[in-house]
Structure 1
Amino acid sequence: MSTPLRTLLVDDEPLARSLVRELLADFPDLTVAGECANGTEALGALQTGAYDVVFLDVQMPDLDGVQVLQRLQAAGQPLPLVVFVTAYDQYAVAAFGLHAVDFLLKPLDPDRFAECVGRVQQQAAQRGGPALSTELAALLRAWPGPAGPAPTPPAAYQDRFVVKQPERQFFVPAADVFYLEATGSGALLHTAGAAHPVRTPLGQLAERLDPAHFLRIHRSVVINTDHIAEFRAWAHGEYLFRMANGQHVTSSRSYNEAIQQFLKRFA
């Protein structure tokens, strides 16, 4: 791609914008040309038509991300390529995956982010102009305004796992799992006295677990926050967690935003 895609970052959390900026540093085809801290700022920036791509937070205190796009569409303003970013997969994320270039769930996973950038690059190469896709237009028409109905509540989170062994199968309650660790073929459920293998990939398991109790701190590790005994800052901006079963797990800097959001509960 000869000319870098001018990219706008929109999120009311400075740490979230910082992480997207850091991840984009590995992709010279996308250059960060602007940042906005709320929907009103984003609306003004996008009205200039100066951006090719926007990483757009869904939940913001004034205008949410979809409402920003609705107003641009109503004004006949061409839209850039849209990547929705959200911490709440219950807010129609499945629809976002169909109607935007892509969506990203917080905390951002570097591998998933790279996949998203690939889709943006492909769409940019194929796009002949700033036309709004019919699917995204349908989403903007259907999205409720500030006084609209509340989003559909999420499905129940997984509260137990099935562990299959040659001679038997049994349940492990999610509350008994201290942390989950990715393996080549699935994941390990670490409990007080054992590590149980399951065949489901860690990423799929993480999406099914209640974020009020489980926190992804590394691409390969999800911890049960109810079983944290202590934690401390570690090397290179990481954190070291000691779990109640005596085992230690280390975070990745890519998940610092999620960890900071978790720690804010106790500030």
Structure 2
Amino acid sequence: MKVLIADDEDLARKRVFSILNKLDGLDQIIESSSGKETIDLIREQTPEIVFLDIQMTDMTGFDVIKKLKNDLFTIPLIIFVTAFDNFAVKAFEIQAVDFLLKPYKKERLIDSFNRAKLKLKSEELNGYRNKINHLLNFLDNNQVDQGRSNRYLDKIVIKIGKKYIFINVNDIKYITSSAYYAEIFTRNKEKYIYRISMSELIGRLNPDNFTRINRSTIICLKEIKAVFSEGLGDYSITINSGESFVLTKNYKSDFLRKMNIK
């Protein structure tokens, strides 16, 4: 069996690879880092199962399956992976298509993989293809809601147990990182753990509302109470709830420009 991991985040691909590589029955694991490369590899390498990230740099995972629409009856089993796309979650749940919501546990990934293997060996494959066809039709009828039309997030979807939590981005005070996890702090003093890189997350937040001030901190601009010059070009930032943060060199110019500090 051949599996393709399609994700533009190198760390995300490595995590899936490390989990799958320990399982039996896999002849080859291949990787792609863009939508175009994913389409080419599906057509050339014909993997049986694909872990497909929804948000890639050149196109969405939805765009990928649309490009493969004419090859519907040779399309592999796809397990969609999404970090925070509430439209994607809605689409998958309506069409009963399997997906992984980041951050997912190792056991959840293995369970999805095992279910996909069972479908390959049963008559469920035709049913799966019908679901993909229905998903494509659903996407065609909901063009306004999906893709790049809403580049920045309004909500972040986090799965806790069997429950999905929708965090309003406008409620976020600041975000800090711990290894590959983001810790999201809200105005009502709630904290959520989210498996995502800071560079990926800041790319989906509106730059008019959020800014990165150091390698491990993103803050909401409206939450800033004061900016202190510490001398020698160093600055610190205090937000309304009292927390203080350091503004580091790599992010200083952009931050000072946004705050109109000269």
Contact 1:12 1:36 in 2 (8 A): yes
SS at match of 2:19: helix
Find 1:25's aligned residue among 2, 10, 21: 21
1:150 matched to which residue of 2?
Answer: 145
Conserved 8 A contact 1:216-1:222: yes
2:7–2:34 CA contact under 8 A, matched in 1: yes
Report % sequence identity: 25
Match of 2:161 among 203, 213, 222: 203
State the partner residue of 1:10: 6
Per-residue deviation, 1:55: 0.3
Question: Aligned residue pairs: how many?
Answer: 194
For structure 1, the residue ranges without an aligned partner over 5 or more in a row are 159-200, 228-243, 245-250
The corresponding residue for 2:115 is 119
In the TM superposition, what is the alpha-carbon distance from 1:54 to its structure 2 partner?
0.3
Letter in 2 for 1:43: I
Q: Return the offset for 1:18.
A: 0.8
Contact 2:32 2:38 in 1 (8 A): yes
1:72 is aligned to: 68
Match in the other structure for 1:193:
none
1:47–1:77 contact (8 Å) kept in structure 2: no
Q: Measure the CA separation in 2 of the matches of 1:18 and 1:69.
A: 23
| Native 8 Å contact 2:83 2:196 kept in 1 | no
C-alpha distance in structure 1 between counterparts of 2:101 and 2:201, whole Å: 16
Residues 215-264 of structure 1 show CA distances to partners (whole Å, capped at 9, x for unaligned) of 8979xx9955469xxxxxxxxxxxxxxxx9xxxxxx9xxx7655775699
Measured after TM superposition, the shift of residue 57 of structure 1 is 0.6
Q: Does the residue aligned with 1:136 lie in a helix, a strand or coil?
A: helix
Matched letter for residue 25 of structure 1: N
Q: Using the TM superposition, name which of 201-210 and 51-60 deviates more.
A: 201-210
Question: Equivalents in 2 of 1:216, 1:89: separation in Å?
Answer: 20
Distance change >3 Å, CA 257–CA 141, structure 1 → 2: same
TM-superposed deviation, 1:110: 1.4
Counterpart AA for 1:126: S
User: CA–CA distance in 1 between the matches of 2:75 and 2:85?
Assistant: 24
| Maintained 8 Å contact 2:52/2:61 | yes
Query: Residues 257 and 226 from structure 1, CA distance in 2 versus in 1: closer, same or farther, beyond 3 angstroms?
Result: same
Q: Could you list the runs of 5+ residues in structure 2 that have no partner in the other structure?
A: 204-211, 216-262
Q: CA 1:29–1:67 in 2, change beyond 3 Å: closer, same or farther?
A: same
2:23 and 2:143 mapped to 1: Cα distance?
A: 38
Matched, 1:50 2:46: yes
2-side partners of 1:35 and 1:261: how far apart?
19
Pairwise mapping of residues 132-147 of structure 1 onto structure 2 (< 5 A)?
133-144=129-140
1:156 and 1:35 map into 2 onto residues whose CA distance is: 29
Distance 2:165 2:28 in 1: 29
For residues 86-235 of structure 1, the aligned pairs below 5 Å read 86-97=82-93, 99=95, 102-127=98-123, 133-144=129-140, 148-151=143-146, 202-204=160-162, 207-210=165-168, 212=172, 224-225=184-185
Whether 2:33 is the aligned partner of 1:37: answer yes
**TM-score using structure 1 length:** 0.57
Q: 1:206 to 1:106 in 2, by over 3 A?
A: same
